[in-house]
Structures are given as structure tokens and as C-alpha cells.
Structure 1
């Protein structure tokens, strides 16, 4: 295991290297969900272009992309992109906004692992978890 730039430990499961333990746990939950028939299938790390590469005054600018962790194919025919987050960064939030602007027909969900508030697999919508934590913090301060 090696550290990533955000000090999480990379982990390898089934020959796939994940950026964090939480990401690998989500992968394992998807395998269970698929085996139980809760989802049809899933893909890992689909890539979306937010801004294409271009040249200006002799300078080359690389494309800006967004690569969520998973693409889930649900039983009802819908698709959902999942990005597993431990915390957000300004760059991540910018890409989240750009993705949602340019790909309005796609559902993108940020999830976090939290055994107390998460679903039966231990995951909760990232923004819902932020609300719960904020509410709990305010309750403690009162």
C-alpha cells in the first residue's frame, strides 16, 4: 500500500488499485449488489471531458476531465455515476459543478463511508453527511 496525495492509502483488490480503503469498500459493495441482483452491472472510472484541449498564442492547454469512481447500471435502466469522497477540495467541487453543468442528463452522486449514518453497505450521500454533521455540531454547541 502506498499513500496518495491526500494521505489516504492505496489498496489493491481483485487486481484493481484504489485510491482509498473507502473506494475499495464501495467496489466490494457493488460486487455484492450485483450478485444479489440489486444492480445490473457497473464500470470503473469512466472519463468525461469538461473542457477540451486547445491552443492559444502558441501555448497548448490540456483538456480538463472528470473521472468519477464508478458508473452503475441500475435495474430500472437508469445510470448513476458515483464518486467516493473522504472530503472535498476546491478543485473537486469545481469539477463537480462543471460536470453537472455540461452533463445535465447524467446523475452524479458523491458518497462517503460512514458506518453510523450510512446504508447497509456503510455509505451515505456526501452532502447529506455534511448536513448531519453540521446539525450534530450545532446541537452540541447549543
Structure 2
């Protein structure tokens, strides 16, 4: 596994001839390979592309299309399709792409993160809630300690 840094300070990982943007993404790839071997999913694709808005011309200027490149696309046994993105946090750019994706595509978009504290793979929205709760609890304990 070769490693290089990305713009979000994660380390790029090369595994099975594929380059992943983070260790978490490479870990999820290994999880999907196992699920496919165990016939828990039909198959999965790496870095599927979704056109969110086509290119257009306005006032003589060409505006490029807007694409979203996800981490994985899973084809489940029941025929459903799920798009997976492994994230540490959600950028403002991604929040916009997420809304555009949700409007245009019928299949489920799941944002996952790996959290040791929370028991492994967890949806990003759930992780944010858990982190807020931990922060609130810590602040309450700190306030209680300073009260005594």
C-alpha cells in the first residue's frame, strides 16, 4: 500500500491497483469485496460518475457540466442501487452536490465515516449527532466540575 497526502490531510492509499483518497475509503473497499465474495451484494463499482447538470452556453460563454464522482456504487441483491461516499466531514461544495444528486437520481445516497468510538461504520449524519452529544456532555461535566 503506497501513501500520499491529499488536500484534506488524508493519505491516498493504493490497493489492488486502485488509488483511494483515504485509509477509510480503502477499508470500505475491502469490506465491499468481502460482502461480494459472501454473496451479500451482487457487485459494486468504484468511482461512479453522475452528471448533476449538463453543460450549457449563455451569453456566448460555455459553462461546463457539473459532475459528482462518488466513492462506490453498490448493486444489492434486491436490485436496488446505493451510492456510497466515505467522508470525514461534509464540505459546502459537497452539500450542494448532495442536493442536486438527491433531486436527480432515484437511488439512495449514503455518506459513511469510520468511527472507533461509535463502533465502526456509521452514517455521517449520525456521527455528527453523536459528536454533538459528546461535546454537550463534556461541556456539562466541565460546568458541573467548575461548580463544585
Q: When the two structures are superposed, what TM-score results if normalisation uses the length of structure 2?
A: 0.88
Q: Distance in 2 between matches of 1:51 and 1:102?
A: 9
Larger relative contact order (CA 8 Å, sep ≥ 6): 1
1:84 is matched with which residue: 69, 86, 90? 86
Does the CA-based 8 Å contact 2:80-2:107 persist in structure 1?
Answer: no
Q: Structure 1 stretches (4+) deviating beyond 3 angstroms?
A: none
Aligned residues, how many?
138
Highest CA radius of gyration, 1 or 2?
A: 2
| CA distance 1:116–1:36, shift in 2 (3 Å) | farther
* Aligned counterpart, 2:45: 43
Query: CA-to-partner distance for each residue in 1:55-90, whole Å, 9 max, x for gaps?
Result: 112211110011111011112221110000011110
Q: When the two structures are superposed, what TM-score results if normalisation uses the length of structure 1?
A: 0.92
Q: Distance in 2 between matches of 1:72 and 1:23?
A: 14
- The runs of 5 or more residues in structure 2 that have no matched partner are 141-148
* Aligned counterpart, 2:117: 116
Q: What secondary structure is seen at the aligned counterpart in 2 of 1:12?
A: strand
Which one has a larger percent helix, Structure 1 or Structure 2? 2
* Aligned counterpart, 1:126: 124
Q: What secondary structure is seen at the aligned counterpart in 1 of 2:36?
A: helix
Q: Distance in 2 between matches of 1:136 and 1:85?
A: 20
Q: What is the alpha-carbon root mean square deviation over aligned residues?
A: 1.1
* Aligned counterpart, 1:59: 61
